[in-house]
Every structure is written in structure tokens, then in C-alpha cells.
Structure 1
Amino acid sequence: MTTLLSARDLHAALELRDLSDPADGPHAMQLLLEELLTALTGAWPCTLELQRRRPLVSVEDNYDRLGYAAEDVTRDARYSRYAAETVMLRSHTSAGVPPALRALAATATATATAGADVLLALPGLCHRRDGIDRLHVGTPHQVDLWRIRSGPATGPLDEDDLQQMVELLVGVVLPGALWRTQPARHPYTRSGRQVDVHTARGWVELAECGLAAEHVLAGAGLDPGRWSGLALGLGLDRALMLRKGIDDIRLLRSAEPRIAAQLCDLRPWRPVSSQPPVRRDLSVVVDTPVDDELLGDTVRAALGPAADDLESVHVVTSTGWADLPPAARDRLGLRPDQVNVLLRLVLRPLSGTLTDRRANELRDEVYAAVHRGRHREWAAR
């Protein structure tokens, strides 16, 4: 039996603002997306189809029709958010690709299209388990960009076309940046690559791409002998942060006037004075295996809106039962199937101040949510 989202959690997820959608209000993310689409359609003789699909998708479209194996760990309810046995909140915008390709196949069949060149753009909000730090969030924005072409006269899209696509993309997001690609495997592409750009902090992943896999095209009703494609997925949050020089992903949703005013354009970020970080280290007992993504998700759920005050949650050390002296095991109430984790919280509100008492209250809320030992130690009680 798949663990399902509660009605409250599902409602909260569906009500979350999609920063990439003008219907939810203006945001710089939309301007960046527009520049990306303009660059691609300006360089290619293709028709743009921008589709905004609902975040509730079939498990088949999110996984099966893209080629994910039945035993793939990403399907586990620890990482995916299921609304029903066969319906989930999409974990990536690639979930919109199979229905978009099916619609393209139906149109091509109905009109007996001899040749077609289409750029499918599928932006939106995704839902997944993720750690808590300056670059990651459990509800990231993505866009899938698939160029699909048919017709024997032009020949199939190939790796040279993919290289041009990456060049155009990097040129928009971070003009003049040094970039590289590394081999990467995706179930829905062949010749897959990861795209990294070089920043002041080192190499940062920007996108994943490859040639559209034949089984994905064929599964949608597009004959791989006549149709070919380029497939690229881009994290819009990361792209916008790189473009503007923002170093904390929480800023993208901030309602603080000095911050929100800068998220209506693509001009370079002007730092807003913030509070100094407050650190709290927690010694907790957790079940194995230890997973940053699951811990991060548990912490978000426990804190609710107050999770916005967390800059990061990081596992410093993890010590198993066999590596602890008996006295420490007894003190912690540790079982052989558990580990003692030193968990570091860094608290820094984007607006307002954080008192020691409030920091301790947040620390205790996190502690109560993640600690699985018999004995408890509170800071604010």
C-alpha cells in the first residue's frame, strides 16, 4: 500500500504559488523563461508550444512512460508524493512530456503532416523530497524543453544540435560563463549529459539533457524512424539565482518588500542586510539509513511556515550502535538498528530578528520531529 498525502498536505501543495506562471503574479522567473524561449525559437525554425500542465499527474506519465524501472528507488513514497495509488504530484516537469507527445502524434496523424519542427516548453512547480540548504528546496520550479522534429529532408536531430541548445541556454542564463558537460544517464534520453557552469563558488549543475529516447517517442505514437528530438530539463530556481547573483533560494519567495521589489526584473541582485546566522547542534537518534532528503522533508513538515527561517540542515556526523560505548547507548536509548546523528541547524530569518528563546523553540520542534530515542533533551523547556 502506497503512503498517500493527507488532504491538508495535498491542498497546501496545490495552493502553492507557481513563480513561473504569470497567472500567479509577475516574477523575474517568468522573464528569464521568456528570454530562454526567445533565444531558442530565434535560432531554430520551429514552432513554440508552451504548455502549463496541472501538477497532479498519472504515475504512468511521471515514471512508466519515461522509462523508469518498476524497482527504481525514486518511486518510493519517501521520495515521491502520492495523492492516490495511480496519481501523484509530479516530481519533475518531464511528467508532461508523454501527454504532450501524444497530442503531437494525434495532430500529426490528423493533418498528415509531412514535416514538423516543434519546441515543447513545459514549465511548472515540482514536488519532491530534498535536503535543506541554500540551493535546494522541496518544491523546485523546472522547465522541460523538448525539440521534436520529423521529415526525411532535414534528417534526425543529433548531438551537434544538442550542443547548440546547451550553448544557447548557457548564453541566456549566465552570459560568458565557462561551462562543461559530463555523461549522465536518464531513462528518457540517450547520449545523456549533465550541464555545469563555473561560478565564483566552483562548478554548479545547471541542466540535464540528451537526445530523446526512441522508446519515449514510440510510446507516444511517434515513429522513431521519422521523428527525433532533443530533451533538456532546467531548474528555473537555480537558473534565476545564477542570473541575478542570488545565493539563497529562500529569497525567491520572500515577501519582504526590499527583497520582493528586486524579483520583478533580471538586474543583478543588490544584497539586503540580513540577521547573523544562529547555529544549533542536535544529538539525535534516528532510524537507518540516514537520508538528508528525508530529514529535510521531516523538518519542513514539522516547522510549517517557520521552515523559512532555516538556512540549512546538515548531518555533521553519524555514529552506529557498534561504534558507541555502552554508556552512550544507554544515555541515548539507542537500538542496534539506529544511529546517533549530530544534526546542525543554521537559522537565519530573511526578515525580522531571531531571539535565543525563539531559536531554542525551533530547535526543540526539529528535535521532537526527528529524534527516535527513548530519552529527550530540550533547550526551551
Structure 2
Amino acid sequence: MSMYLSSSELCAALAVPDLSDSSGDDPAGGVHALALLFDCIIEAATAPDALPHRVVRSSPLVATVDNYDALGFDARAITRDRRHSRYVSPTVMLRSHTSAGIPALLRQLEADGDRDEVLVLPGLVFRRDQIDRTHVAAPHQVDVWRVSAPTRRKVAELRDMVDALVSAVLPGARWREVPAAHPYTQKGRQIDVLLDGEWLELAECGLIDPALLARCGLDPERWSGLALGLGLDRALMLRKGIDDIRVLRSTDPRAVAQLRDLTPWRPISTLPLVTRDLSILIDEDDDDETLGDTVRRALGAVGMPELT
């Protein structure tokens, strides 16, 4: 495996459309359900206090130091391995999580200023991952961070934010918190939701680690905040009851029509549409093999690609 992406691999990755960005949708076709769900998340993150917020859509090309070191990842973290991350050069990579944009934003804040703001960072992230019904190499993520000074943010406020976001993504769903470790949070936890009698992971969150604030030039005695991240693809799949992540980029008109709203998914067949019927009279000694040839001859060359 090459250590760095080739120019063609990089161009292909950067050309993948971000379905959470409604500005890229065809007005005639409507907004993708991922963008609709993202709008619900923004509303939940800023209400009920009408908090000021910024949606930051930055380039997926980030400094490796911001993707890992600035966020506090251990130098030996397995995620750094080129088998998992997609490097462009020794110092630049395709981000492996939207949290990679946080250090640059924190460094831009006025260290002595007062602030209570929600930073929302959506976009595609890139991994070397298997491709099946629950994995793709370029999933969508969103980070929601509330950054404050001088007011200290507390765990109770983190729970309130989680409750609002769960209600926005999965109205009426029960949720629980499970202790979890993240290099850039304290009191970290995993958020699970109960669906059809099964607990499923939805998000990760915690209080912003004071060490991260200090590395970004902010006094941790004065600054604090809440951090939450979730996978938008998984959230939408849970919301609509979709069991295959590849459906989200389907061009099948039957799928596209259902990806313009947040209503429950109606399963569609993966088999090609039937465009013609054929009745055949057969002899009693015909078998499957000869019958197949009879059908092919009857349909001619036009029908053969679909039947072979």
C-alpha cells in the first residue's frame, strides 16, 4: 500500500459530494434528507437559549498535527497508521474526523474576550475502511462544540444538549450515557439510543479538555465548553429505518424520492425493474439450461445482458 494518496485518488476523494450541504442540491430535485437532518441538529444545539452559532464548512484537507496532535491523540494511536488514515504528504491528510477543524477555530478566538457560542462543523471524513451495508470510506460527520468564557460549562448542560439532539434526531427515543474516553474531552461518554428493544450507539460527547484549550492558546481557567460528535449517515439510517448505508447515495429513482424527507423508509427491491413479460411453451423434457437458451433466443441481444 502506498504511503500517500496519488493525485487521482485525491481528486476522486475531493469530488465526493457532501450530502449534508443543501447549497449543493438541485433546487428541482429538492434537499437531501441528510441536509434536513443536519438542520434539525443545528436548531436543537442552539435552542432554547437562542445561542449564537457558526456553521463552519472547511476543506477536508487538514494539517496532520490538527487531526491528531493538537487534539491530544497519543503518538502511538493505531488510527494514525496509514492502513486507517489517508495521507497526502508527511504533514497533510484527508481528515479522519470533523473534530480536526476544532484546533484552528480555537486558535482564532480572542483569548481575553467573552464568548458563549456553538461551533458546528459538518462534512465528509475519510478513512481506509471496508465497504458494506454499514461502512463506507467517506461518511458524513458533524461536531457540535459550545465554547464559553468566562462562564464555566457543566455536565448538566452537556446532558441538556444531548437530550435536545437526541430528540431532534430520533423524536421520542430513550437514551443512556456510557463512560467513554476521548483524547480531547473530560468526563467523556458514549450516547446510546433504544430502538426496537436494542441499545445502539448514536454519538460521543464530553467536556472540552482543558489541555486542548491550553494548546490552542486559551486559558483553561477562563475557558470551558461542551463537545459532541455524531455520524450523520448512521443518524439518518436510524431515523428512517434504512439498513444499508449505500442507499444514501443511490441513484435509483425509487430511493431518491424517499431521500427528500425524514419519513420512515419503505423497502425497495434491489433487483432490476421488470420491463417486459414473456410466456414460453416448453416440452416436458426441457431443463433449466435449455430453457435459459430459449428465453435468450426469444429476447434477442437486447435482453441478454440482463439475463446472463
Are the counterparts in 1 of residues 60 and 124 from structure 2 also a CA contact under 8 Å?
A: yes
TM-score between the two structures when normalised by the length of structure 1: 0.68
Matching of residue 93 in structure 1 with residue 98 in structure 2: yes
Structure 1, unaligned stretches of length 5 or more?
277-353, 358-381
Question: When the two structures are aligned, how many residues end up with a matched partner?
Answer: 272
Instruction: Return the letter of the residue paired with 2:16.
Output: L
Partner of 1:6: 6
The 3-state SS of whatever aligns with 1:134 is coil
Q: 1:252 aligns with which of 248, 252, 256?
A: 248
Choose between structure 1 and 2: higher helix proportion: 1
Measure, in 1, the Cα distance between the counterparts of 2:182 and 2:53: 24
CA distance in 1, matches of 2:94, 2:197: 33
Q: Work out which structure has the larger RCO, using CA pairs closer than 8 Å and 6 or more positions apart in sequence.
A: 2
Deviations 1:53-108 (A, max 9, x none): 100000010000000111111101000000011000000000000011112x2xx2
Offset, 1:117: 0.5
Asked if structure 2 preserves the Cα contact closer than 8 Å seen for 1:150 and 1:228, the reply is: yes
| TM superposition shift of 1:134 | 2.1
CA contact (8 A) 1:159 1:211 kept: yes
Q: 2:67 aligns with which of 38, 62, 73?
A: 62
* Correspondence 1:230 to 2:230: no
Structure 2 residue 84 is the aligned partner of structure 1 residue 75 = no
Deviates more, 1:59-68 or 1:128-137: 128-137
Return the letter of the residue paired with 1:127.
F
C-alpha separation in 2, matches of 1:90 and 1:75:
11
SS for the counterpart of 2:117 is strand
Structure 1 moving runs of 4+ over 4 Å? 354-357
* Contact in 2 for aligned 1:130/1:136 (Cα 8 Å): yes
Q: CA separation in 1, counterparts of 2:104 and 2:307?
A: 51
Asked if the contact 1:45–1:117 (Cα under 8 Å) also holds between the matched residues in 2, the reply is: no
Root mean square deviation of aligned Cα? 2.1
Residue aligning to 1:294: none
Determine the C-alpha separation between the residues in 1 that align with 2:97 and 2:194: 25
Q: Name the larger-Rg structure.
A: 2
Equivalent residue runs for 1:113-152 within 5 Å: 113=113, 115-151=114-150
- Partner SS, residue 167 of structure 1: helix
Q: Which structure has greater strand proportion?
A: 1
TM-score in terms of structure 2 length: 0.84
CA pair 356-191 structure 1, distance change in 2 beyond 3 A:
farther
The 8 Å contact of residues 52 and 123 in structure 1, kept in 2 or not, is answered as yes
TM-superposed deviation, 1:156: 1.0
- Identical aligned residues as a percent: 54
- Unaligned 5+ segments in structure 2 are 26-30, 273-304
2:216 maps to 220
Cross-structure match for 1:184: 180
Alpha-carbon shift at residue 22 of structure 1 (Å): 2.1
